[in-house]
Amino acid sequence: MLSDCRGVPVSTDDQSLINFLDQCLDTALAFDGDSVADISRLLTDHPEFIMGHCFKAGMLTQAMEVRIYDEMLASVEAAEAMADRANDRERGHIRALRAWVDGDFFAAVQHWETICTHHPFDLLALTLAHLTDVLLGDVVGQRDTVARVFDLWDESLPGYEFVLGFYSFGLEENRDFSHAEELGRRAVAIRPGHPYAIHAVAHVLEMQGRQSGGIWWMTSRQDAWANSNFRNHLWWHLSLYHMDLGQIDRVFEIYDAHLRSSETSGDKYEELDASALLWRLNLMGVDVGERWKELAVKWEASAADTLYAFNDVHAMMTFVSAGKTDAAERLLNANERYIDHASDANVAMSRIIGIPFCRALQDFAGGDYKSCVDRILPVRYQTHRLGGSFAQRDIIGWTLLEASLRAGETDLALALANERTAAKPTSSQNWRMVARVHQARGDTALAKRADARHDALIIA
């Protein structure tokens, strides 16, 4: 049996197909080009290529969008129809993909992990397991899935830099910042045009409150990522550093040049980052003009998708901010009907944190800050179930703090603000929050002290 460039067996007698698949995987992990379109063209002429179908369906799982479901299902069914000719590793991929399309995302990860146990150099299985752990908010899994195979890899294996990038991100999400930064920088040294590793180091710098260093890290490598398929998210990361430093003009420059678009591509990753950035500005009391209305047009078509709670809460941020009451109610009604009858993995995500946070966003936008607090406070330690990263989910804690301050619950607001400065004492934005809370409590001296910390960090 022939094998790929890492020695993993592939059930075909045509090495050129395997070589093309290797290139497609490299393209996908470098966030360059359109690997799904490339493999689709190959499958038109070679529909018998089992791993081609598994690759296509696997890449489509990461979109978490209804619009691609039929195409993904067609690839899964094509692979299933040839399962009797597949090897054990390929049948593992087919089982994982079937679990996915049936809504059992956690079972899909388990199947991919099993493949990695027996084929530790199966980079596709490792990729899909790690990235799905990110989607599901399985923080420990993001690290340990890679840890199980990491010591078996080295620079002699093609794609080692991608494994370094995955492990770097998993370590960062588990707050092993020093090790994460080391591996992320190693990955970028091997392959300077490696957006995911650049992104992993960006997360380290964000979590540690190293804003100036983050700006330098991103801008000095801008040529390596600014034309990649990951560019929207990396522009978002860059904007967070500027936001923390109070450089709001620069945040708007980034939004308008790179996140704001009148086109409706259907790519939710673009719309997620735009919504997340505008909501943060909203929490700061910054007027964003017509941007919410423009963004709401892009979200409305998927208001009732109920596929992924992470998408739903970002859509809700947009609807409540743009005054799209009908769209907001359509989203909530669809989700409430969905959790009553569905049994897929997203049900728990929606029930535990998705719907409560969507309701809290409605409360916040409507000025009912007390209700907003009451909805978020009981679930604040379960927000990982929403998926995404700590940096992305921080919007929930920030909303809770701002709502508690506006509701006049200053004891709670002070506790929450102190918690933030303890976790990231070099954040000028966090100290500004502490100052606002002390001012609301009438403690001018402590407010001035916190403002001084804020000012010192801005100057630095």
Domain spans in the chain, listed from the N-terminal domain onward: 1-123, 265-407
Task: Specify burial of residue 423 (Cβ count, 10 A radius: 0-12, 13-18, 19+).
Answer: middle
Contact 95, 111 (CB under 8 A): yes
Query: Quick one: pLDDT band at residue 441, thresholds 50, 70, 90?
Result: very high
User: For residue 263, what pLDDT is reported?
Assistant: 60
Give the CA radius of gyration of the chain.
23
Report CA torsion sign: 195, 196, 200, 202.
Answer: positive
The residue whose two tokens read 């709502």 is 403
Q: What is the pLDDT of residues 73-95, one digit of tens each?
A: 999 999 999 999 999 999 999 99
Packing angle of the helix pair 325-341, 355-365 (nearest 10 deg): 160
Token pair 């299902």 is found at: 73
Most confident of 36-50, 264-278, 339-353: 36-50
* Single-letter residue type at 388: G
d(CA 366, CA 31): 40
Predicted TM-score of the model (pTM): 0.96
Q: What does the pLDDT average to over 329-340?
A: 96
Distance between CA atoms of residues 267 and 245, nearest Å = 30
- How confident is the model over 369-391, as pLDDT tens digits? 999 999 999 999 999 999 999 99
- Percentages (nearest 5) of helix, strand, coil residues in the chain: 75, 0, 25
User: Does residue 265 register a pLDDT over 80?
Assistant: no
Three-state SS across the chain? CCECCCCCECCCCCHHHHHHHHHHHHHHHCCCCCHHHHHHHHHHHCCCCHHHHHHHHHHHHCCCCHHHHHHHHHHHHHHHHCHHHCCHHHHHHHHHHHHHHCCCHHHHHHHHHHHHHHCCCCHHHHHHHHHHHHHHCCHHHHHHHHHHHHCCCCCCCCCHHHHHHHHHHHHHHCCCHHHHHHHHHHHHHHCCCCHHHHHHHHHHHHHCCCHHHHHHHHHCCHHHHCCCCCHHHHHHHHHHHHHHCCCHHHHHHHHHHHHCCCCCCCCHHHHHHHHHHHHHHHHCCCCCCCHHHHHHHHHHHHCCCCCCHHHHHHHHHHHHHHCCHHHHHHHHHHHHHHHHHCCCCHHHHHHHHHHHHHHHHHHHHCCCHHHHHHHHHHHHHHHHHHCCCHHHHHHHHHHHHHHHHHCCCHHHHHHHHHHHHHHCCCCHHHHHHHHHHHHHCCCHHHHHHHHHHHHHHHHC
Residue-wise pLDDT tens digits, 397-435: 999 999 999 999 999 999 999 999 999 999 999 999 999
- What is the arithmetic mean of pLDDT over 247-253? 98
236-274 exposure pattern, b = at least 16 Cβ within 10 A, e = fewer: bbbbbbbbbbbbeebbbebbeebbbbeeeeebbbbbbbb
Q: What is the pLDDT of residue 343?
A: 86
Q: What is the pLDDT of residues 134-180, one digit of tens each?
A: 999 999 999 999 999 999 999 999 999 999 999 999 999 999 999 99
Mean pLDDT of 324-331: 97
Into which CATH architecture does domain 1-123 fall? Alpha Horseshoe (1.25)
pLDDT bucket at 65, cuts 50 / 70 / 90: confident
396, 381 Cβ separation under 8 angstroms? no
In the predicted structure, residue 446 carries a pLDDT above the cut 90? yes
For residue range 216-242, list pLDDT tens digits in order.
999 999 999 999 999 999 999 999 999
- 8 Å CB contact between 94 and 51: no
Q: What is the pLDDT of residue 261?
A: 73
**3-class SS at 3?**
strand
386, 353 contact by CB (below 8 A):
yes
Q: Do 235 and 277 touch, CB atoms closer than 8 A? A: no
Using the predicted structure, report yes or no on whether residue 105 has a pLDDT greater than 70: yes
Which residues, in sequence order, are bridge partners of residue 427?
none
Average pLDDT score over the chain = 96
Dihedrals phi, psi of 3, to nearest 5 degrees: -140, 165
